[in-house]
Structure 1
């Protein structure tokens, strides 16, 4: 499809995306879809797919919103900017491959397409118009995962294709409501009048249709001036951020929620559209002047809210809501997404040319597995076969400095001044463990961070999958789990990334990428249950221990997602119209809580 027609197809979908789309004192997921934070679990620009999206402000207050797109391996940013919505505003955009948009030199590079006039900083729509386009256009960027920032995943650079950035998920985080109380400026003999932030973002009638009053005011507020300012109030937010931890407070008040949104993956060539509603988080933050961070900053993140409690809803037989306390905002957000089972239907019926793909997204995973966030500490383990050299060693006892196989010095020297010092210089080291993962996750990211789940499935006649016999070596999905991490029970499935896809029939809906695993369930239709519980033997061999638990005993992993089903019926008889169809179904889930293990979480108190 040529540039003009394909661009029109992308932008035509944006208006439809807009249609897809109370205050609480603890973090919770609002089933009615309104909130302060929106999680959109998937986007892609692969194989001719494009993603259209919207966010809606249902309140009578202007808002500052952080828009953040994250790649699917390890949640590294690929684009981040500030959005300023007027009261009752709707903002829409699309994500498409530069080549599909008609820019041959940008093939393989995802781009954000913005036909909407609402203010952003930088003002991406205005920049596109100034460049002679009919819309704003911004390429995704690899800086957060390339070069010195590489995390073990694919390392890509500007100027070439960015397949890692072509698939992931995104967030909208309300940073606060806008007012005019602090920066509105009345005209003087030396300076013209200047609107406050709320008025600057508000749409007004113009000969070209409704437009924000003055987006440049917001851009100037965030601009640092080395010399003379264009107005006495210009640079006010930038100056505040210099001394306020990258935050601004002028014309910003506590957030009020009321956002909802949606997105859709469309394929113009195939004639398919898979639409979903964003997950809405309430109770994220109640700071009096919001969390209004400068553009290009990694904050606010899901860990920036000041609410460290979460309300979790338990169904039958409890039928109650429980409020749980945590040590950080992101732990509270994770609790709202914690599930021990996720379930959904599938169909791969041959007569319908049907295909099904499951998407599983962990919106907080990087806060638990990314060494850049969690940090790294080395733990030395002795060789259990070295009975002589390691005699008397106990967990926690260090070793002398030794060069490991990678020629890196591991600092394991024991303090010789300790009265109980014992020289373990002859003790062989079996392995080096990099202890940089936080519960409930179990594997740190080094290009992958694999969490193994049990896959069970039933056909439409309630016939279950056949459990494996001990000692059997059944076929499993690809990629395989790390050695020694396979839990007992049904065939495992390794979810190794922040965004994971499981193709249950070889239909390939969203394209073949590293984030895609495949399996054959053996039946043409039915339903699947993924179980995230992970019981391991205690070191003393006297019982089992649930590794996937948070500090309040919530079992499983913080996860969301959906199933996409596609039906291909070819061209209608005697015509050129494709009769293809697509449907998207949100995952269903269960929650479970156990007595937490305080030693595992380092939360034990006297008497525990």
Structure 2
């Protein structure tokens, strides 16, 4: 066979591989929302859209920000072209053993069928946190920030399709029958067929008091399932991000497609999120009281580090009940290319370099502060105490705005069974900014906010 023709054939075959991948067009079977928060009196709202003509069963789950443990999970049954929406607001727990602890409550006015969910106000639940390793670190305050995910379980068939249909009145025809089908924890209606995707999602963080909103799109994973989905009861912690295919597809910068076979489904999902470096901007301009914070989230970390033995690569430490840390390095460049980095020689002999900073939780916040400013206990915008402060020595020329890069050079990376491996960590997230214009005219609203998704570099490593 002609060599060029062989290359084309191999490429076409690889394109047909049913392997999990990030769909840059935003549609998928799984949606990952990298961050929610109710700290600092913030609210987080989210939506899930069924863009298809098929009724679907989906699983919605929320994970606290320390170790990624479940704090709420439920089913939603979407009719064709349906939208599910919900909001998280701050509250104090009324659950015995956690009375008055800060937590979140989920509320929704949505009429779509969500059996067993208290739509008027469902508090986050402590039952998985209560089993964590360190009894001193089991407060529901851990759940005031974290991440969420949505998984399609399958497309409905038979009577269930009619039961969830909204008809002309905007209310499902018979949600009671859907709930009754689960009353014995054994689905009593026709089984769903294979998930086909077509979900999209978004979230926005709202500061009601200051009239600010910051929004982002959910990360969409396509071809997550290798055939049939896993259709468990509404309260089950399964399926999770380890339940899908063990193959991944990543489009590389040079236009080639990296197809890899892994030992587990969670490694495949981590592979499609791997970054050797993250890039974003910062601004703390004094004139407008500028603030900038970076969210760095690891939505697959809990399934790599909450293990009985060593952590699963690329993470280096198992969760010990308080933390699971991985080093990173930071370099900042202002808009005129002056640099701020973690170590620069300024004496002879030079002082010892500082230790690299660490990201020790599932969702982490890095607050960008002016040179020589003391770190805060909680961040100014998101109110996070999941803080990591980059250890930097600032060049005196560095100004109030610019961009930065986070690198993960200490990570062992991920080596697949077959195919292409990746360096770095499965990191995602965004940068948020807030400004207050003190020079605005009288009577003008002078509060502004932005959110920008991290960009990143993918670095490959070959299988051994």
Q: Bin the TM-score by the shorter chain.
A: 0.7 to 0.9
1:496-547 deviations in Å (ceiling 9; x for gaps):
000010001267110141345466765311111111122xxxxxxxxxxx72
CA spacing shift, 1:250–1:151, aligned 2, 3 Å: farther
Change (3 A) 1:114 1:326: same
RMSD of aligned residue pairs (Cα, Å): 2.4
* Compared CA separation, residues 123 and 215, structure 1 to 2 (3 A): farther
Contact 1:23 1:282 in 2 (8 A): no
Q: Of residues 214, 220, 227 in structure 1, which corresponds to 2:180?
A: 220
- Give the corresponding residue for 2:9: none
CA distance in 2, matches of 1:23, 1:515: 42
SS at match of 1:584: strand
Q: For this pair of structures, how many residues does the alignment match?
A: 425
d(CA) in 1 for partners of 2:108 and 2:235?
Answer: 18
Structure with bigger gyration radius: 1
Alignment correspondent of 1:239: 186
Task: State how far apart, in whole Å, the 2-side matches of 1:118 and 1:23 are.
Answer: 35
Native 8 Å contact 1:343 1:588 kept in 2: yes
1:583 aligns with 2:450: yes
Structure 1 residue matching 2:40: 3-state secondary structure = helix
Q: 1:153 to 1:301 in 2, by over 3 A?
A: farther
Q: Secondary structure at the match of 1:280?
A: strand
Counterparts of 1:259 and 1:239 in 2: how far apart (Å)?
Answer: 26
The Cα shift of 1:249 comes to 8.2
2:415/2:462 contact within 8 Å kept: no
- 2:429 is equivalent to residue 550 of structure 1: no
Name the CA distance, whole Å, in 2 between partners of 1:201 and 1:312.
36
- Residue 216 of structure 1 and its aligned partner are, at CA, apart by 0.7
Q: Deviations over 1:113-164 (max 9, x none)?
A: 1110001121433xxxxxxxxxx21001111112xx123385346xxxx311
Q: 1:280 to 1:375 in 2, by over 3 A?
A: same
1:286/1:87 CA distance change after superposition, 3 Å:
farther
Q: Which residue of 2 aligns with 1:592?
A: 459
1:83-116 Cα offsets, whole Å, 9 max, x none, are: 111100011110001269xxxx867231001110
Equivalent residue for 2:4? Answer: none
Take 1:571 and 1:278, find their aligned partners in 2: how far apart are those partners?
Answer: 36
TM-score computed with the length of structure 2 as normaliser:
0.86
* 2:248 alignment partner in structure 1: 310
**Does the Cα contact within 8 Å between 1:571 and 1:578 map onto a contact in 2?**
no
Helix, strand or coil: the match of 2:125? coil
Partner of 2:359: 495
TM-score, L = length of structure 1: 0.66
- More RCO (CA 8 Å, sep 6+): 2
Unmatched runs of 5 consecutive residues or more in structure 1: 1-21, 126-135, 181-195, 225-237, 241-247, 377-435, 476-485, 487-491, 535-545, 599-608
Q: Deviations over 1:439-462 (max 9, x none)?
A: 111111111111001111111112
Q: For residues 196-207 of structure 1, what are the structure 2 equivalents within 5 Å?
A: 196-206=159-169
Name the CA shift for 1:549/1:578 in 2 (closer, same or farther; >3 Å). same
1:480 aligned residue: none
Q: Distance in 2 between matches of 1:39 and 1:353?
A: 32
The equivalent of 1:513 in structure 2 is 385
388, 396, 400: which one aligns with 1:524: 400
Give the match for residue 253 of structure 1.
193
**TM alignment of 1:200-599, pairs within 5 A:** 200-206=163-169, 210-224=170-184, 238-239=185-186, 250-288=190-228, 290-305=229-244, 307-315=245-253, 318-370=254-306, 374-376=307-309, 436-446=310-320, 447-466=322-341, 467-469=343-345, 472-473=351-352, 486=355, 492-505=356-369, 508-515=380-387, 517=389, 523-534=399-410, 547-551=412-416, 552-569=420-437, 573-575=441-443, 578-596=445-463, 598=464
SS in 2 for 1:219: helix
Distance (Å, rounded) in 2 between the aligned partners of 1:526 and 1:52: 30
